Amino acid sequence: MAEGSKIISPDVQTVTKVTHYSDGLFAFRMTRPQSLRFRSGEFVMIGLPGDNGKPILRAYSIASPSWDEELEFYSIIVPDGPLTSRLQHIKEGDQIILRPKPVGTLVLDALTPAKRVYFFATGTGFAPFASLLRDPETYERFEEVIITHTCREVAELTYGRQLLEDLANDPLIGEFAHQVKYYPTTTREESAKMGRITALIESGQMFTDLGLPPLDPAVDRAMVCGNLAFNLDIKALLEKAGLREGANSDPAEFVIEKAFVD
Ligand code: A2P
């Protein structure tokens, strides 16, 4: 794309805000096409034009809730990543390609009704939960919402921690903030709570810390988003506790999606 030129396509949106966090993590907001309807927790394809003019597109969970008039995304920077090595340089006013066809399994409709929902995230797997945590429907469906976020280092928790802190003052969600329990852990840097969430579940420590009973398919539901190995390990723990995997077409007790990387 020539300097200063604009891409002419109905799929092009404009960046409205970029926030960089440490360790190659950043969030950005962009305009939302009026026609785009999505369910909180879904993902879309976004990208930039490549050198040959062909778009480089990747799946990104929408981190903003469905009622927000803009779209928010949360991304890691992979130094040699075809998209994120470019995306890291975006700034307000820049253009981004958006394919407005939202899909995904991490939607409230894929879970049967229950008292409690656990959101288990690692790294940028927090993104779909950033959407769901800001959606009033989450709190209408579940009395208690537990968000666990495991990262290697403390700085990687910043985006999630700020979002949780802001929740109480959110004009739309503030009244539900007391329903949320936040459980951040780190694995490679000292913090208040250390360890992989899988180990903390297996030892029972997470339940002790949160003052909650062990997982029970009668009252607990779960959504999982992280790297592949993490997803498989959590899935095994959930199934051991008697929870079954659900889908849009066949709601059940938990759903899983891989966190997207470049
Ligand atoms: P660890 O540091 O012990 O590998 P990554 O950046 O590799 O995606 O990992 C993000 C976080 O998820 C890290 O804290 C990492 O812990 C943790 N993690 C990675 N794989 C698993 C797994 N199979 N089960 C539980 N936690 C995991």
Answer yes or no: is the C-beta of 233 below 6 A from any ligand 1 atom: yes
Q: How confident is the model at residue 135, as a pLDDT?
A: 97
Radius of gyration, alpha carbons of the chain:
18
CA of 160 to the centre of ligand 1 (A): 17
Closest CA to 262 of 59, 1, 101, 3: 59
Q: Is 188 in the pocket of ligand 1 (CB under 6 A)?
A: yes
Q: Which of 122, 153, 191 is the pocket-test mutation for ligand 1 (most atoms within 8 Å of CB)?
A: 122
Residue range 30-79, pLDDT digits in tens: 999 989 999 999 999 999 998 888 999 999 999 999 999 999 999 999 98
The whole-number average pLDDT for the span 111-124 is: 98
2: pLDDT confidence band, cut at 50, 70 and 90?
A: very low
Tens-digit pLDDT profile for residues 135-191: 999 999 999 999 999 999 999 999 999 999 999 999 999 999 999 999 999 999 999
Alpha helices in 195-248 (DSSP H): 197-202, 205-210, 228-240
3-class SS letters over 2-64 = CCCCCCCCCCEEEEEEEEEECCCEEEEEEECCCCCCCCCCCEEEEEEECCCCCEEEEEEECCC
Q: Say yes or no: ipTM exceeds 0.95.
A: yes
Give the pLDDT band of residue 9 (cuts 50, 70, 90). Answer: low
What are the residue boundaries of the structural domains of the chain, listed by start?
A: 12-102, 108-258
- Asked if residue 3 has pLDDT above 60, the reply is no
Q: 134 CA to middle of ligand 1, Å?
A: 25
Q: Is 123 in the pocket of ligand 1 (CB under 6 A)?
A: yes
> Does residue 200 come out as left (phi exceeding 0), alpha (psi in the -120 to 50 range) or beta?
alpha
Please provide the CATH number assigned to the domain covering 108-258: 3.40.50.80
User: Which ligand 1 atom lies nearest to the CA of residue 185?
Assistant: 14
pLDDT band per the 50, 70, 90 thresholds, residue 10: low
CATH class of the region 12-102: mainly beta
